[in-house]
Amino acid sequence: MRSTSTRSPTVPGHKAEEQRTFRGREPYLLAALLVAILVAGGALAMLYANRTPGEGSAEAGFARDMAEHHAQAVQMAEISLRRTENEQVRVLATDILHTQQNQIGQMHGWLAAWGLPLTGSEPAMAWMGHPTDGLMPGMATPEEISSLETLPPEEADAQFLQLMIPHHEAAIPMAEAVLGETDRPEVEQLAGAIAVSQENEIRTMQAMLRQLGEEPPEDEPQQHTHADHG
């Protein structure tokens, strides 16, 4: 017996209908592909933005150097707060003490969260392109700090302000430098706050010195500015 074929007969226009159906879906497929690309790109951007700063990064260098810089300001503020008889100086020293202690805690917390030690192998300010083996700019010498303990209270007040003004002036370029390098919101927020608050306190201290009959120290040229890292 002759076998009977079970193949379905070809329906005229069936293939053309399939092609029309596919073409009708093309805009939706392209849109889905575009969404997938955007999602993947966003994920990569978030991964980059949330990367953990490593050894040698600007964020780590800033946290270490600014914490050390702040520590000396805290030391001078503690001495001044203990010895001063001037209410304005007492208020200023208290603000510096509390604010900068808190900021040191924040920066040490970052380093711990990033799995980095509090000190690095590179010299201070190497992350800015200006490695410094001695004291960082604006920092007082041990002899100058000792004088805060030995001078009469009113003279010690003037000395405190004379030392703290250049100390603040040197911290501002450090904050500006990391703002030009980082994309981490917590670093941007703290560095911006440091720059603004220390500029305001410089003006306050200059006015206080004049009230004490002293001339403020001349502004020193700032070599480590944001423009240097443009």
Query: Using the 8-state DSSP alphabet, how is residue 54 labeled?
Result: -
Query: How confident is the model at residue 7, as a pLDDT?
Result: 53
Longest dimension (CA), the chain: 127
pLDDT tens, 21-60? Answer: 555 555 555 555 555 555 545 444 444 456 899 999 999 9
Percent of the chain predicted with pLDDT > 70: 73
**102, part of any domain:** yes
The answer to whether the pTM exceeds 0.85 is no
- Residue 176, pLDDT score: 97
Give the C-alpha separation, 104 to 195, whole Å. Answer: 15
Q: What is the pLDDT of residue 88?
A: 97
If you average pLDDT over every residue of the chain, what do you get?
Answer: 84
Residue 124: pLDDT over 60: yes
* CATH code: domain of residue 130: 1.20.1260.10
Return d(Cα 68, Cα 175) in angstroms, integer. 14
Domain count, the chain: 1
Per-residue pLDDT, averaged over 93-112, amounts to 97
Cβ-proximal residues to 195 (8 Å cutoff; 6+ apart), any chain: 172, 175, 176, 179
What is the per-residue pLDDT across 191-220, written as a single tens digit (0 to 9) for each?
999 999 999 999 999 999 999 999 999 865
37 domain residue, yes or no: no
Residue 8 maps to a domain: no
Query: Is residue 161 one of the residues assigned to a domain?
Result: yes
Distance of CA 147 to the CA centre of its chain: 33
Residue 119 domain flag: yes
**Token duo for residue 9:** 């007969």
What is the per-residue pLDDT for 92?
A: 98
Model pLDDT, residue 12: 54
Find the domain containing 115 and state its range: 57-229
Tens digit of pLDDT for each residue in 172-192? 999 999 999 999 999 999 999
Q: Is residue 127 part of a domain?
A: yes
Query: What is the pLDDT averaged over residues 96-121?
Result: 97
pLDDT at 134 over 50: yes
- Contact of 77 with 97, CB cutoff 8 Å: yes
Asked if residues 127 and 61 have their Cβ atoms less than 8 Å apart, the reply is yes
- pLDDT > 90? residue 80: yes
Is residue 144 a part of any domain in this protein? yes
Q: Is 33 domain-assigned?
A: no
Closest CA to 70 of 168, 210, 146: 168
